[in-house]
Amino acid sequence: MMPPLTATRSCFLVGNYLSLRIFSRLQKTVSFHKSLPVFSKVGHETGPLTLTSLGLKSETETTTGNEKNRLQHGVSTLEFPKSKRKKVGSNREKLVAAKKTPDIPAAPFAAQSFSELGLPPLLVDRLEKEGFKVPTDVQAAAIPTILKRRDVVIQSYTGSGKTLAYLLPILSGIGPLKEDSSTFDEPKIKSEIEAVIVAPSRELGMQIVREVEKLLGPSDKKLVQQLVGGANRSRQEDALKKNKPVIVVGTPGRIAEISTAGKLHTHSCRYLVLDEVDELLAFNFREDMHRILEHVGRRSGTGQQGSNRSQGWQPERQTIMVSATVPFSVIRAARSWANDPLLVQAKSVATLESVSSSGPINFTGTTSNSSSSSNYQKLPAVQSLPPNLQHYFFVTRKQHKVDALRRCVHALDAKSSIAFMNHTKQLKDAVYKLKARGIKAAELHGDLSKLARSTILKKFKDGEVRVLLTNELSARGLDVPECDLVVNLELPTDSVHYAHRAGRTGRLGRKGTVVSICEDPEVYVVKKLQKQLGILIRGCDFTEGKLLVTEEEKMLKSVRQ
Ligand SMILES: Nc1ncnc2c1ncn2[C@@H]1O[C@H](COP(=O)(O)OP(=O)(O)OP(=O)(O)O)[C@@H](O)[C@H]1O
């Protein structure tokens, strides 16, 4: 269990960052397997806060953050004279309005239709029925590239539609919606999986399953099978046998377990997707990922396990790696695991060679030769964070944090909020306090059973829970479009975690607000995050039921008194 994020620990995280980089590098020199060189030392499938990404963290930092803020938010300064204190009530109204309207005017739509991307008519029809009419930018870039059978690394900001960006080309090639679906009913001698999708958490895995089921429709939904941890394994194995799915979606541990037991046949698999790939590089996934990478799409007799690379063997599969945050370790992994992969971003498709020559590809990326923390570069944070987010911080004492959260929810009239904490015990206390104050709150963390987690998530999605208190478990991939507020009740350990937490709101062009509630000694951490992300995080106060942008120094003084 990690200690609380105290000021001292924050100092350690940020101040001693260089030492951690060196430590991380030392670890990386100890490779577990030739083909798996990039696992960092920590991380958990069920998600207590980890330092995983410290080893992945950028050594770059914007020196012109204000310039970027001007561009992103239309504000010109970080200073807020008293005369410029303003209510954010208008933002609040817009948040509610954004929820009511089905149209998303700011959505990142590029191409006019899915059919112009080369998807089969059956699939396009199904998409239209499900309300997906126009592809997003990243879908417009990724779909034709994957259809051309290229391996890809897809990087685009949270909530930009990366899931469909890889699911649609896969469903064009396999299952009942594929181009020539008449061949789908061919009797199979042996049930073979054609696509394996790996996700770091059960929730994300289940979310992807639901997305595939939606597209396959009720009569064919058994063609996708979830293999997530925490669920009954023998039931999953029975379903594999009985339903003969073509797609499996799961967590690394469970997929590897069933594969090792000889009950998952993936040697002829055509697609391997690694969703949230930078998280999948974590140390605790290394053995399971090793198994998956070695067995998915590996035709028997074509290579010896563990020696494939040295013998020039290439797996006969398409490898698709996806995340909003793509550090250089992912690029290294892609070079090792994929076949001449391309980097697909919202408006570009490039070779990986172009990445290495131009340095980091986003704020979490580091070039292999950048070793000094003073070697900061400009950070295109916009690549990882949704464009319509407003970021604030509020300073208070530890014992007043939960009350600050309550005031924040009321001030913004937020209907659906996710509040992040780092430790389960404090999280439970916070839920208790919020409930005592009449707020519909619930907890979501790894100590709960899979069933309890799904029930709570459903309640949150249905609007029965107004504030969901959770930890890093929910920071990645969780898609609740209605979520209009993210609160960091405890600060994330670094900019990568901040980006994924923040990305739970403002999805697909919607507006969203992120408020970090911190103690006075932590303000410098917020400032550091602001710099690293290249965003403006404004000081705020909650007065008379409104969120007020404050004059930063004044607020700090009043808290210190
Ligand atoms: N073309 C589209 N039209 C309308 N809605 C879409 C479209 N593509 C995706 N969506 C919806 O947008 C939301 C966000 O998509 P998705 O979860 O794939 O984002 P993401 O980029 O993977 O985010 P994250 O990085 O947080 O995992 C989902 O609710 C999805 O159903």
Flag whether pLDDT at 76 surpasses 90: no
Rounded Cα–Cα distance for residues 74 and 331 (Å):
33
- SS3 (DSSP) at 106: coil
Give the mean model confidence (pLDDT) for residues 388-392.
94
pLDDT value of residue 240: 95
| Chain centroid offset of residue 332 CA | 19
- SS3 (DSSP) at 487: strand
pLDDT value of residue 354: 73
Count of positions (residues) in the chain: 561
- Indicate the top mutation candidate among 137, 156, 507, 510 to test ligand 1's pocket, ranked by most ligand atoms within 8 A of CB: 507
Residue of minimum CA distance from atom 14 in ligand 1: 159
| Superfamily of structural domain 115-176+191-299+316-351 | P-loop containing nucleotide triphosphate hydrolases (3.40.50.300)
Ligand 1 centroid distance, CA of 420 (Å):
22
- SS3 (DSSP) at 387: coil
For residue 71, how many other CB atoms are within 10 A of its CB?
A: 10
Largest CA distance in the chain: 77
- Indicate the top mutation candidate among 99, 137, 164 to test ligand 1's pocket, ranked by most ligand atoms within 8 A of CB: 164
Give the mean model confidence (pLDDT) for residues 323-332.
91
Rounded Cα–Cα distance for residues 246 and 177 (Å):
12
Residue of minimum CA distance from atom 20 in ligand 1: 159
Would you identify the CATH topology of the domain 389-549? Answer: Rossmann fold (3.40.50)
Q: Would you kindly state where each structural domain of the chain is located, as residue ranges? A: 115-176+191-299+316-351, 389-549
- SS3 (DSSP) at 537: strand
Give the mean model confidence (pLDDT) for residues 38-54.
33
Q: Quick: pLDDT tens for 156-178.
A: 999 999 999 999 999 999 888 88
Rounded Cα–Cα distance for residues 506 and 512 (Å):
4
Say which amino acid occupies 218. P
- SS3 (DSSP) at 116: helix
Q: Quick: pLDDT tens for 334-347.
A: 999 999 999 999 88
Residue pointed to by tokens 């008379």: 544
Residue with more model confidence, 256 or 70 = 256
Residue pointed to by tokens 């948040």: 95
> Is-same-fold flag (115-176+191-299+316-351; 389-549)?
yes
- pLDDT-wise least confident of 33-42, 238-247, 291-300, 438-447: 33-42
Rounded Cα–Cα distance for residues 169 and 164 (Å):
8
Residue with more model confidence, 164 or 561 = 164
Tokens of 121: 């008519």
Tokens of 312: 């020039």
Rounded Cα–Cα distance for residues 469 and 465 (Å):
10
Q: Is this complex scored with an ipTM above 0.90?
A: yes
DSSP letters, 177-212, are TSTTGGGTTPPPSS----EEEE-SSHHHHHHHHHHH
Give the mean model confidence (pLDDT) for residues 453-463.
94
- SS3 (DSSP) at 221: helix
Per-position b or e across 118-140, b if 16+ CB within 10 A of its CB: ebbeebbebbeeeebeebbbbbb
pLDDT value of residue 550: 85
Residue pointed to by tokens 């309005």: 97
pLDDT value of residue 101: 32
Ligand 1, residues at Cβ distance < 6 Å: 132, 134-136, 139, 156, 158-164, 324, 477, 479, 481, 503, 507-508
Positions of E strands within 471-525 = 485-488, 512-518
* Whole-prediction pTM: 0.77
Predicted confidence band of residue 183 (pLDDT cuts 50, 70, 90): low
Q: Quick: pLDDT tens for 478-502.
A: 899 999 999 999 999 999 999 999 9
List, in sequence order, every residue forming a beta bridge with 25; answer none if it has no partner: none
